[in-house]
Each structure stands twice: as C-alpha cells, then as structure tokens.
Amino acid sequence: MNPEHPEEQQGKPIGRRVLLGTLGLGALGVVTAPTLQRGLESFLASASDKDPTGLTDLLPNGGGFRYYSVTSSVPRKSATTYRLTIDGLVDHPRTYTLADLRAMPQTRMVRDVQCVTGWRVPHTPFEGVRLSRLLDAAGVRKGAGAVRFTCFDGAYTESLTLDQARRADVLVALRMQDKDLGHAHGGPVRLYVAPMYFYKSAKWLSGITVTEDVRPGYWEERGYDVDAWVGRSNGRDDEPTT
C-alpha cells in the first residue's frame, strides 16, 4: 500500500477478523443519543440503499452512518449564527462566517468513510475548503507544529500535525453526500480527514488553533491512536493489502 495514500485500499472488503478485532473497542467507542439515533433511521435506510454492492449489509448495524456524539445535546448553529475562528501561532487570526467559507474555492472528494469500530460507508462525497488554504491565509508562524480543533458541542477535540493538516485530502467540510451538512452529521461545518479513521473528522467545528505540539483529542485520551491512518493504526497495521 502506498503510505501517502492509504485510502487507495478503499475497495477492500472489511475482513471478519477486523470486525471481530474491533468489537471490544466498539463497545467503548459508541456513544449514541437514543432520540437522535431514532430520528436518523430513515437516513440510515437511504444510506444503505445507495450501496449496490451490499457490502454494508455485512456491517453490525446493517450499514450506513451511525450518529455519534460524546455529549447528550449539541446547540444548533445556522447559516447566520455559525462562526469558525482560526487563531494561535498565526499572523492573521480570523473569524469566518459560513458565507465566507462558501465563497472560497471548494474541493470535492469521494472516499469510503470508515469508523474505527468497523462500520464503513463506501464512496461518500465530501465537499469544502481545503484546511491548507485556511492555514495559508492565516499565515502559520515559525515554531508551529500542530493544529488543534475545537467544537461547539463544548467537549470534542481533535488534532493533527501541521504536515497532516496541510494534506490536500483534509477539508473543512460544508457538504456531505452532495447536500449541506445537517446538524446530526456535524453541520454546518465539520472537519473531514479523508485518510484517517472517522473520529479524526470532528463534527460541529468551531475553532482551529495552530500550536507547537499535538495534544491528543477526545478519543485519543481514551486509547485511540493520534495518527489514525486507515489500515495502519489502532492495531490494524498488519492488514493484508491483497
């Protein structure tokens, strides 16, 4: 597998060994809000309808997205109330509105979404502004080595090294599945880190802070890898690549 493009293994079905191997982590990692989960069932059904391979039928919940939040409720932000702040070790700290972000060049990518607990949603389009573009606009200072993400749920955090954050396949995403990001999936704006397990893709993104060092995020303080490359982290490093 090309280490720069771990997503190239996207066509590979998830082996039984992977699913079995992650059940322990899954029990730890799945935190769902029962009411919202129910509200999402129609969405889940339509997500699996879009999978002609039937691959998602093999997954524990019959396929499709699961709704994850580490908090029991999350405030809603609209197109008018949403703000994204970039600060820390930058020359030009700035607060963006949703309209500001929409006015910037958008990048669309289609990859498999993969949660570390084993579920996967094949060929999922995401669209938004490259994080590298926002970092360049902010003017990253010497001595910076990492980027920290905060969320308006008030609890979740994530981080990337500066090199990871500058990859072309890391987006500040405004759209998913060719629709504006809904609240349940982290709208109006979430992070999308295509080459890594989905826990890196922080929902309800509100802050981007350029820092010296990586500080482990919410799940990483609870045992998951900070460098969360799909297929070569979290004990999955030995997956055969066929």
Which chain residues interact with ligand MTE by CB under 6 A? 29, 65-70, 115, 151, 153, 156, 185-186, 198-199, 201-204
Least distance in Å: CB of 142 to ligand MTE?
31
Residue 187 to residue 207: CA distance in whole angstroms: 14
Binding window for Mo ion (CB under 5 A); candidates: 2-10, 71-79, 107-115, 229-237: 107-115
Q: Which is nearer to Mo ion, 138 or 230 (CB)?
A: 230
156 binds, among ligand MTE, Mo ion, none (CB under 5 to 8 A by kind): ligand MTE
- Cα torsion at 143, 201, 189, 47 (round to 10°)? 160
DSSP 2-57: -TT-GGGGGGSPPPHHHHHHHHHHHHHH----HHHHHHTHHHHHHHHHT-TT-GGG
Least distance in Å: CB of 91 to ligand MTE?
28
Residue 103 to residue 108: CA distance in whole angstroms: 15
Least distance in Å: CB of 198 to Mo ion?
5
187 binds, among ligand MTE, Mo ion, none (CB under 5 to 8 A by kind): none
Residue 204 to residue 151: CA distance in whole angstroms: 5
Whether 138 and 90 have beta carbons less than 8 Å apart is answered as yes
192 binds, among Mo ion, ligand MTE, none (CB under 5 to 8 A by kind): none
151 binds, among Mo ion, ligand MTE, none (CB under 5 to 8 A by kind): ligand MTE
69 binds, among Mo ion, ligand MTE, none (CB under 5 to 8 A by kind): ligand MTE
Residue whose CB is nearest to ligand MTE in the complex, by number: 156
Q: Residues 43-82: x/- map of binding to Mo ion (CB under 5 A)?
A: ----------------------------------------
Whether 65 and 51 have beta carbons less than 8 Å apart is answered as no
CA separation, residue 16 to residues 8, 102, 225, 238 (Å): 20, 41, 22, 14
Strands 83-88 and 205-211: parallel
Residue 72 to residue 55: CA distance in whole angstroms: 31
Q: Which is nearer to ligand MTE, 28 or 79 (CB)?
A: 28
Task: For residue 4, count other CB atoms closer than 10 A to its CB.
Answer: 10
Least distance in Å: CB of 38 to ligand MTE?
14
Summarize as ranges the residues that interact with Mo ion (CB under 5 A).
Answer: 115, 198-199
